[in-house]
């Protein structure tokens, strides 16, 4: 084994682990926010003034119920997304782009995991993208030196880890 090659793999694994941790932090914040919103919606429903006039009271209760259902659904989606993220092993290395890959291109850097937006690591920007996103669909299956086009931009794959 070439010591330089082993050092690069270790550095890449560290970067991927750090990006993965940022995504996990992002999703945990989303879960916390969804939980707070749901709790607030439930408390609003419980404190709704019972003496409100008939139709107004029923309309308000129906709107509060819709709000509670919306926040419950968001919370469930975030928990499911966290489970998907936890199934990604950031220590795995693959030469082919797939879920869990960090992809360095001529036009941007990506972590194919969840849609968490822009991540910053050592002053370098990465975009955490869902494997189902249009750009990920274009990238998945490619290898280093591969080329794809998306929204009029050429992406040359410089590195995959």
pLDDT along the chain (161 residues), means of 10: 56 93 98 93 69 66 87 95 96 95 98 98 97 98 98 98 94
Question: Given this model, what pLDDT does residue 63 score?
Answer: 84
Question: Given this model, what pLDDT does residue 10 score?
Answer: 67
Question: Given this model, what pLDDT does residue 48 score?
Answer: 55
Contacting residues for 22 by C-beta, under 8 A, at least 6 apart: 116, 119, 121, 128
Query: Hunting for tokens 């050429």 — which residue is that?
Result: 154
Question: Given this model, what pLDDT does residue 2 score?
Answer: 56
For the chain, give the number of residues: 161
Question: Given this model, what pLDDT does residue 9 score?
Answer: 57
Cα–Cα distance for residue pair 26/70, rounded to 1 Å: 20
Contacting residues for 124 by C-beta, under 8 A, at least 6 apart: 109
> Is-contact 22 119, C-beta < 8 A?
yes
Question: Given this model, what pLDDT does residue 153 score?
Answer: 98
Question: Given this model, what pLDDT does residue 92 score?
Answer: 92
Cα-based torsion angle of the residue sequence 144, 147, 149, 152 in order, rounded to the nearest 10 degrees: 100
Question: Given this model, what pLDDT does residue 147 score?
Answer: 98
> Is-contact 19 102, C-beta < 8 A?
yes
Question: Given this model, what pLDDT does residue 57 score?
Answer: 67
Question: Given this model, what pLDDT does residue 41 score?
Answer: 83
């Amino acid at each position: 084994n070439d010591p330089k090659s082993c050092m690069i793999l270790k550095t890449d694994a560290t970067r991927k682990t750090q990006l993965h941790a940022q995504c996990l932090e992002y999703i945990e914040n989303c879960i916390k926010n969804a939980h707070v919103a749901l709790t607030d919606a439930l408390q609003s429903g419980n404190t709704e003034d019972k003496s409100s006039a008939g139709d107004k009271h029923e309309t308000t209760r129906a709107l509060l119920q819709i709000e509670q259902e919306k926040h419950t659904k968001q919370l469930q989606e975030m928990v499911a997304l966290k489970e998907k993220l936890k199934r990604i092993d950031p220590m795995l290395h693959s030469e082919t782009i797939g879920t869990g890959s960090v992809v360095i291109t001529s036009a941007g850097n990506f972590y194919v995991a969840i849609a968490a937006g822009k991540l910053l690591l050592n002053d370098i920007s990465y975009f955490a993208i869902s494997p189902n996103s249009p750009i990920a669909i274009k990238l998945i299956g490619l290898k280093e030196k591969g080329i794809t086009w998306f929204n009029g931009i050429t992406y040359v794959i410089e590195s995959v880890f």
